[in-house]
């Protein structure tokens, strides 16, 4: 949790098992077979970016690497393709984390969009160098969709941390 | 001890390596993994190990899809089912006639081959499997089968449907197998044109079509030719239908003709496929005889 100038709530500290749980759910969503359309949002990347921005001391590049390796096996992609992209994403998200939380949610998603795009470009470059065919421009639609999902995801993932509203006159804040 | 702001105590002494150093280390590890997997294929064991962890995730993701599929099958109209049933009955009668004759023909073939002193053709065995879904990897064309090593499916086996070849098993997990379709850019099949037995190699063209590569610009191929497997690779049985030639661009400025083909099998449509058993290995390539110069040979011959 980080203080932001605009937040009126005080959040509870995050529980580590919840981070793990959300990452697992994101990977499961990624594994849902949707046919050949390439422009689906990368849930794992989005969730990773979220936790890297929110909890830079808990979730970092090593987590991103592990998630990346798991995604490589789930997707049947080349070993290291997702890992490389996610490690880059986690690094830049971690660098942004001090700055980005001072913005509103919409501006935050505009900060996240280039990071997601970067991770996809990294994957495309890796595969093109390995001799694959270009998957078409629709492939990049995924990161725009993911950036639009930033606002709802924010509320969803912070839900367990919202302190229950209780009147307590003895509490100073 | 968490402070009010939620940060840990300020890490004065133990901070570990700087973020940039950590990034570079992990990037180098990723690059090593990429190269080890792409160039040397060393990581299949690691992949198998990780797949034990990811299998539940994949099944959890596939569950709702399967449920939706089952529900839609349940509610599919009676009319569609009746049509399908009639079609299948017609097909079965058609095939039964051929099958009745096939036993006799096989016996005859065996006798003739014995007369000619040729090796008997290998009987075909196969495992029926079902395609679960396409892999999510957008850069390749692969599908996952619902059977794996425990059912006897092994890497390298050919996969066919009722019309022709659809691909080859490229990875086998304990309970699943990954099939690379013929339309994948890196999947190659040795083939021959039935009309004149011209040998060639078929590759995926990347857009769902197939391509005969490395044939000279004046090669004897015509639109409409059927292409079957040649069996020279020792993996695919010879004579399985692969594709039909649909377009030929002969540009004299290139060395090779560009020959596009349409796959015979419904490569990206069918759900039930047959995984053919392993072929007997081809005879060893003869050891190269020690080179002797010609005069010595002739001398030996005269003796």
Per residue in B144-153, pLDDT (tens digit) is: 898 888 888 8
Q: Is the pLDDT of residue A5 over 60?
A: no
Query: Is the model more confident about B17 or about A51?
Result: A51
Q: Is the pLDDT of residue B101 over 90?
A: no
- 3 state DSSP class of B166: strand
CB proximity under 8 Å: A 139-158 to B: 139
Q: Which of A16, A26, A33 to mutate to test the interface with B (most CBs of B within 10 A)?
A: A33
Q: Is the pLDDT of residue B300 over 50?
A: no
Q: Is A10 on the interface with B (CB under 8 A)?
A: no
CA quadruple B82, B87, B90, B94: dihedral, nearest 10: -160
Contact between A62 and B26 using a beta-carbon 8 Å cutoff? yes
- Model confidence band, residue B121 (pLDDT cutoffs 50, 70, 90): low
The stretch A82-102 carries a mean pLDDT of: 92
Q: Is the pLDDT of residue B296 over 60?
A: no
Pairing verdict, β B142-145 and B177-181: antiparallel
Spell out the residues 6+ positions from residue B207 whose beta carbon is closer than 8 angstroms to its own: none
Worst-scoring range by mean pLDDT, A30-34, A153-157, B114-118?
Answer: B114-118
Q: pTM for this structure?
A: 0.80
Q: Is the pLDDT of residue A114 over 90?
A: yes
Rounded-to-integer distance, Cα B153 and Cα B176, Å:
9
- Both tokens of A47, joined, read 């969730």
Q: Looking at this predicted complex, what is its ipTM?
A: 0.86
- Model confidence band, residue A121 (pLDDT cutoffs 50, 70, 90): very high
- Both tokens of A143, joined, read 């990161």
| Residue-level pLDDT at B303 | 44
Q: How many CB atoms lie within 10 A of CB B194?
A: 13
| Residue-level pLDDT at B297 | 46
Q: Is A172 on the interface with B (CB under 8 A)?
A: no
CB proximity under 8 Å: B 191-210 to A: 206
Domain at B188-265: CATH code: 2.40.10.350
Rounded-to-integer distance, Cα A41 and Cα B170, Å:
27
- Domain residue ranges of chain B, discontinuous segments joined by +: 188-265
Q: Is the pLDDT of residue A129 over 90?
A: no
- Model confidence band, residue A173 (pLDDT cutoffs 50, 70, 90): low
Q: Is the pLDDT of residue B293 over 80?
A: no
Q: Is the pLDDT of residue A162 over 70?
A: yes
What percent of chain A clears pLDDT 70, i.e. is strictly above it?
88
Set of chain A residues whose Cβ sits within 8 Å of the Cβ of B135: 75-76
Rounded-to-integer distance, Cα B101 and Cα B94, Å:
12
- 3 state DSSP class of B127: strand
The stretch A47-51 carries a mean pLDDT of: 95
Q: How many CB atoms lie within 10 A of CB B114?
A: 10
Min Cα separation A76/chain B (Å): 6
Q: Is B15 on the interface with A (CB under 8 A)?
A: no
Rounded-to-integer distance, Cα A81 and Cα A69, Å:
8
A40, A34 Cβ separation under 8 angstroms: yes
Q: Is B178 on the interface with A (CB under 8 A)?
A: yes
| Residue-level pLDDT at A18 | 93
Query: Is the model more confident about B82 or about B77?
Result: B82
Q: Is B5 on the interface with A (CB under 8 A)?
A: yes
Q: Is the pLDDT of residue B105 over 70?
A: yes
Q: Is the pLDDT of residue A62 over 70?
A: yes
Contact between B38 and A132 using a beta-carbon 8 Å cutoff? no
| Residue-level pLDDT at A131 | 80
| Residue-level pLDDT at A111 | 93
């Amino acid at each position: 949790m980080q203080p932001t100038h605009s937040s009126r709530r005080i959040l509870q500290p995050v529980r580590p098992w919840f981070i793990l749980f959300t990452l697992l759910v994101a990977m499961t969503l990624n594994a849902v077979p949707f046919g050949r359309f390439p422009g689906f949002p990368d849930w794992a990347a989005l969730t990773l970016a979220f936790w890297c921005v929110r909890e830079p001391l808990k979730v970092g590049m090593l987590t991103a690497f592990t998630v990346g390796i798991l995604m490589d096996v789930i997707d049947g992609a080349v070993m290291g393709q997702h890992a490389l992209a996610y490690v880059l994403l986690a690094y830049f998200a971690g660098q942004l984390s001090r700055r980005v939380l001072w913005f509103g949610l919409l501006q935050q998603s505009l900060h996240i969009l280039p990071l997601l795009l970067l991770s996809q470009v990294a994957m495309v470059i890796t595969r093109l160098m390995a001799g694959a065919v270009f998957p078409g421009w629709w492939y990049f639609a995924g990161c725009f969709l993911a950036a639009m999902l930033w606002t709802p995801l924010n509320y969803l993932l912070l839900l367990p941390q919202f302190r229950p509203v209780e009147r307590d006159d003895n509490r100073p804040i | 001890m968490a402070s009010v702001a939620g940060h840990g105590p300020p890490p004065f002494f133990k901070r570990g390596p700087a973020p940039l150093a950590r990034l570079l280390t992990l990037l180098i590890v990723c690059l090593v993994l990429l190269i080890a997997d792409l160039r040397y294929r060393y990581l299949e064991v690691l992949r198998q190990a990780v797949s034990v962890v990811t299998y539940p995730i994949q099944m959890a993701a596939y569950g709702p899809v399967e449920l939706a599929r089952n529900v839609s099958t349940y509610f599919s109209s009676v009319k569609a089912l009746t049509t399908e049933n009639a079609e299948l009955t017609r097909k079965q009668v058609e095939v039964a006639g051929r099958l009745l004759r096939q036993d006799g023909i096989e016996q005859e073939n065996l006798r003739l081959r014995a007369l000619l002193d040729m090796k008997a053709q290998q009987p075909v065995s196969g495992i029926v499997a079902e395609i679960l879904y396409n892999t999510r990897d957008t850069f390749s064309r692969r599908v996952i089968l619902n059977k794996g090593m425990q059912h006897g499916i092994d890497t390298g086996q050919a996969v066919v449907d009722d019309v022709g070849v659809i691909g080859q098993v490229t990875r086998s997990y304990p309970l699943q197998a990954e099939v690379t379709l013929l339309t994948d850019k890196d999947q190659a099949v040795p083939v021959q044109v039935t009309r004149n037995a011209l040998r060639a190699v078929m590759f995926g063209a990347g857009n769902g079509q197939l391509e005969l590569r490395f044939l000279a610009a004046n090669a004897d191929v015509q639109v409409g030719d059927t292409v079957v497997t040649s069996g020279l690779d020792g993996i695919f049985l010879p004579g399985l239908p692969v594709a039909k030639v649909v377009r030929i661009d002969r540009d004299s400025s290139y060395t090779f003709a560009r020959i596009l083909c349409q796959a015979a099998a419904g490569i990206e449509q069918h759900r039930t496929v047959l995984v053919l058993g392993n072929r007997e290995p081809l005879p060893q390539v003869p050891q190269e005889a020690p080179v002797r110069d010609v005069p010595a040979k002739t001398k030996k011959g005269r003796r």
